[in-house]
Structure 1
Amino acid sequence: MLKSLTSAALLAMICVLSATSHAQATTLSGKLVHVRDADTIEIATSRGRIAVRLNGVDAPELNERGGQAGKRWMQNPYSNATITCEFNGEKTYDRWVGVCWDKDGLDLGAAVIAAGHARDCPRYSGGRYRKFETPESRKHQQHNYCK
């Protein structure tokens, strides 16, 4: 019964997020329950568990230099923290794309870049995170999808 309810809730959430346009962003809050890497997190919301790709952030993959350190950095302050994400209606793989911030209003994308664990991804950010890049963050190779 619980599995059916969970599946129904997830289906309803997917329908809502799928119908979201750029003009009508969906905002959800939840606990950060898993960090895949420095630019992909999972939050548990009232609509179920949601994988979020941080919009405009280019972090190393786990098997790339700095990938594990970026994941650990994201886990340390944010595991089980309440995170709010505004989704733009786009999806990449199994992840909804959005901008997320913590309870104090700190943008997680800006924070992980300023900490040196990721770079601005100008193709998707429009350059909004460029000012947060540091000499350490610029050492990470920018992925081709960001150029």
Structure 2
Amino acid sequence: MHIILLGLLIASLLIALKISRAHASKFDAAPPRFKPSERAPTPLESKEQGEADRPVFDATQRVEATPKPTLKGRAWVTDGDTITINNTQIRLFGIDAPELNHPYGQKAKWALHRLCKGQNIRAEITDTDRHGRTVAKCSLQDGTDLSAEMVKLGMAIDWPKYSGGVYSSLETPSIRKKLFLANARQTGRMDLWAKYENRQKST
């Protein structure tokens, strides 16, 4: 009788030990291994569906700006806001000078000529105007902005439509009255041009 009870006790202990080991194996299982061609998922990849595919900005990556095309060389001056470099006619960025046959037109041309004389001009191309002319930010060898200098000299006015108003603060007092025809072009008063040119023809 005692032998039977002892056997039952040993059997129950063995069963309890097996159950305990099986329960522990659920938590002690070794982490899954990945084949050489595989890799463990990153925290980003474990996000909800749709989020994992979004591009992530990497602050260490540098975005290189595409350099703008430029021309360099001696300039031939046409008028107060137009030059030619290497056979390319260039309209100075962001300003408007009087036409040659308008008041101060000749003065504006020679003012620009004096600025460019003996200089290699650098023209950073920005656009093409409606007349097919190349528009460029032009500067002297020391980096001086030609458009800014012409406005400072009172030989041109800022053209906010194209410049964003960057030269407005450089305009001399009453310059828009002095260069009234250039101002009329900006304000859409081309009838003033017609009146002025008709008077010129009649004299």
Asked whether the equivalents of residues 52 and 97 of structure 1 are also in contact (C-alpha less than 8 Å), the reply is yes
Aligned partner of residue 74 in structure 2, secondary structure: strand
RMSD between superposed Cα atoms in Å: 1.9
Q: How big is the shift at 1:66?
A: 0.5
Pick one of 179, 191, 194 that aligns with 1:140. Answer: 179
Q: How big is the shift at 1:95?
A: 1.8
Percent identical pairs in the alignment equals: 38
Pair 1:146–1:111, CA change in 2 (3 A): farther
Aligned partner of residue 166 in structure 2, secondary structure: coil
User: Number of residue pairs matched?
Assistant: 120
Point out which structure has higher relative CO (alpha carbons under 8 A, 6+ apart).
Answer: 1
Following TM superposition, where does structure 1 have runs of at least 4 consecutive aligned residues deviating by more than 4 angstroms? none
Higher strand content, 1 or 2:
1
In the alignment, structure 1 residue 125 sits paired with structure 2 residue 163: yes
Q: How big is the shift at 1:24?
A: 5.7
Larger Rg: 2
Aligned partner of residue 107 in structure 2, secondary structure: helix
Higher helix content, 1 or 2:
2
Asked whether the equivalents of residues 113 and 137 of structure 1 are also in contact (C-alpha less than 8 Å), the reply is no
Structure 2 spans left out of the alignment, 5+ residues: 1-65, 189-203
Aligned partner of residue 125 in structure 2, secondary structure: strand
Asked whether the equivalents of residues 115 and 137 of structure 1 are also in contact (C-alpha less than 8 Å), the reply is no
Structure 1 spans left out of the alignment, 5+ residues: 1-22
Asked whether the equivalents of residues 74 and 112 of structure 1 are also in contact (C-alpha less than 8 Å), the reply is yes
Asked whether the equivalents of residues 123 and 136 of structure 2 are also in contact (C-alpha less than 8 Å), the reply is yes
Pick one of 69, 90, 95 that aligns with 1:26. Answer: 69
Pick one of 109, 115, 121 that aligns with 2:147. Answer: 109
Pair 1:26–1:146, CA change in 2 (3 A): farther
* 2: CA distance, partners of 1:90 / 1:25: 13
Tell me the equivalent position of 2:81.
39
Asked whether the equivalents of residues 71 and 85 of structure 2 are also in contact (C-alpha less than 8 Å), the reply is no
Asked whether the equivalents of residues 86 and 98 of structure 1 are also in contact (C-alpha less than 8 Å), the reply is yes
Q: How big is the shift at 1:94?
A: 4.4
Pair 1:80–1:50, CA change in 2 (3 A): farther
